[in-house]
Amino acid sequence: MQPARRPGGRTARVRAQVHAAVLELLKEETWDDLSIPLVAERSGVHQATIYRRWGSLSALVDDMVTDWLTTDSPIPDTGTLRGDLRGYAAKIAEDLASPMGVLYVRAAMVGSKGPEGETYLMERAVHLNAMFERAAARGERPPSLLELLEVVIAPLYYHLIFFNRPVGVEHAHMLVDRLLSLPGET
């Protein structure tokens, strides 16, 4: 019988230290300069521990972004598709406008470069599909995940990445309204 794992303790502390170190380094370093030795030095966690836990820098960054999305940016459940989508889009807009949001976008770009990358995208797709299933169960007709990406999510990131100017919540709401006005959507 294995002993029960504590949700806190050393494992949680090491994970938090390493995640914080990655974010701090992304403020200072270029993407290509980020490395596990730098993370180890900044976090105070031995390189061997980092390699044993994550295996690669891509896996580490992917874990960090997945954790952030799960804990700090949950999918809303307002009782309506429009409310859920507006809440989701508003949270993206707010996150992208914050200094931490920009760092997480940078981290996501770094993390997705490796073969283990993009777990956060798959995790987010599962949560979004659950939102769509709730809407369908209420009799609403949700968009496809691709439509949400093309009409709402991509423009929000586009403004940040190409114009270095994140949009506000009102613009995010307008994008959701545009998505829901597409033929076949409610």
Where in the chain are the domains? 1-55, 57-180
Q: Where is pLDDT greater, at 117 or 158? A: 158
| 37-51, 91-105, 151-165: segment of lowest average pLDDT | 91-105
Band (pLDDT 50/70/90 cuts) for residue 3 is very low
pLDDT at 113: 52
99-157 pLDDT, tens digit each? 777 766 766 666 555 555 456 667 788 889 999 999 999 999 999 999 999 999 999 98
Q: What is the CATH number of domain 57-180?
A: 1.10.357.10
Q: How far is it, in rounded angstroms, from Cα 24 to Cα 95?
A: 17
In terms of pLDDT, which residue wins out, 5 or 119?
A: 119
Look up the CATH number of domain 1-55: 1.10.10.60
Provide the whole-model pTM. Answer: 0.72
